[in-house]
Amino acid sequence: MDGNDRTLLIVNPASGRGRGRKVFARMESSLREAFPKIDVRFSEFPGHSFQLGREAVRERFGRILCIGGDGTPFEVINGMYLQGRPEFLPEIGMIPAGTGNSFLREFAITTPEEALHRISAGRRLKIDLIEFEYQLNGRTERRYSLNLIGVGLITDILKLTNEWLKFLHSFGYSLAVLIRLARGMRNKIDLEADGRCWSVSNSALVISNSKYTGGKMKIAPHAETADGKADMVVFRDVNRREMIRIFKGVFSGAHAAHPKVEMIQGVKMAVVGTPDLSVMADGEVLGKTPLRIKLLPQELTILG
């Protein structure tokens, strides 16, 4: 870690409808005891953690801890990579204080106390990172995802949850699925994965680096965070009734056996929607397709 034992703690006080502030207040003394050289900075407005991630790299902190939901490390990591891959990569630890905290479920971490215990123990894991490009207002943007990229229906569900149903916590995602399905899906999607090309109609998909999304939804049951591959889950040519049946199995992973669910692994992928489809990553709605994806194997070191 370049001899640098300094820790930057980034707190999103607004995450989880104010839970971030409460978790920090409850755990501040334990954090300062565990990391005497800790520097605490609060995310004060949407997008502020991008800036804080960039500052962490510039100031060469050896360790970044995040208190927040999935969106907080998303912003921090993308701030770190804002000007390309940094020469010096800090280790990253996450303390859950959001609505879903999907990524940490991959490591059986569901409480702030368990997260801090694992981080303090110094357990280190190498994980993959998804680099992707999408379209925003006619230009190509590049971002990085720890957990999951959603296209089409999946993004619409997330947007509906964030804007209207977040107070219902995990149940909000379930309700948003039912509300959004009432509109149905009409599209054509051209897909590519490691040179294989095919098309699907009336479909939605996710590209996952881990198993979970929306809290406990086991959307990509075969995904692993350090296997060197991304998992594309395609819901192919489904009507509303079929999608509801599929959704019933999402919490256990049983949907993977449905004949209209296709799962593909790959390193390089592309998605083109007709019409253009909405894109989200790690809980953040971003832009539109076309979407290009490249997996970066074991790119980051996670504490926990």
145-173 residue pLDDT tens? 999 999 998 888 878 877 778 777 667 77
Task: Give residue 65's pLDDT.
Answer: 98
Query: Which runs of consecutive H residues, i.e. helices, occur in the chain?
Result: 15-34, 48-58, 71-80, 102-105, 112-120, 153-160, 170-181, 240-248
| pLDDT greater than 70 at residue 2 | no
Residue 185: predicted pLDDT: 83
* 180 shares a domain with 256: yes
Same domain, 32 and 168: no
The per-residue pLDDT for 113 is 97
Q: 71 with 48, same domain?
A: yes
Per residue in 73-83, pLDDT tens? 999 999 999 98
Same-domain pairing of 23 and 150: no
Residue 1 lies in a domain: no
| Co-location of 78 and 101 in the same domain | yes
Q: Where are the alpha helices (DSSP H) in 84-215?
A: 102-105, 112-120, 153-160, 170-181
d(CA 63, CA 57): 10
Residue 232 lies inside a defined structural domain of this protein: yes
> Is residue 302 one of the residues assigned to a domain?
no
Q: Are residues 197 and 77 in the same domain?
A: no
Provide the pLDDT confidence category of residue 216 given band limits of 50, 70 and 90.
confident
Residue with tokens 């106390």: 113
| Domain end point (choices 106, 122, 138) | 122
Residue 2: inside a domain: no
Task: For residue 41, name the pLDDT band (cuts at 50, 70, 90).
Answer: very high
Given 74, 104, 122, the domain boundary residue is 122
Last-in-domain residue among 122, 147, 164: 122
pTM recorded for the entire structure:
0.93
- At 164 the pLDDT is 78
**Residue 157: burial class (beta carbons within 10 Å; 0-12, 13-18, 19+):** buried
Q: What is the pLDDT of residue 197?
A: 98
Check: CB of residue 74 under 8 Å from CB of residue 132. no
Asked if residue 109 and residue 134 are part of one domain, the reply reads no
Q: Which segments of the chain are extended strands (E)?
A: 7-11, 38-42, 63-68, 91-96, 124-136, 139-145, 148-151, 188-193, 196-201, 204-208, 230-235, 261-266, 268-274, 278-281, 284-303
- Residue 145: give the domain boundaries: 130-297
Whichever domain contains 285, its CATH number is 2.60.200.40
Please check whether residues 145 and 208 belong to one and the same domain.
yes
Q: Are residues 193 and 278 in the same domain?
A: yes
Total of domains in the chain: 2
| Residue at 54 is within a domain | yes
Is 114 a residue whose pLDDT tops 70? yes
What's the confidence (pLDDT) of residue 14?
Answer: 94
Q: Give the side-chain half-sphere CA count within 13 A for 195.
A: 0
The answer on 212 and 64 residing in a single domain is no
Residues 84 and 187 in one domain: no
188 in a domain, yes or no? yes
Q: Is residue 13 part of a domain?
A: yes
Whether 239 and 93 map to the same domain: the answer is: no
Instruction: Examine residue 138 and state whether it is found in any structural domain, yes or no.
Output: yes
Cβ-count burial 4-31 (b if 16+ within 10 Å, e if not): eebbbbbbbbbbbeebbbebbeebeeeb
Q: What's 63's domain CATH number?
A: 3.40.50.10330
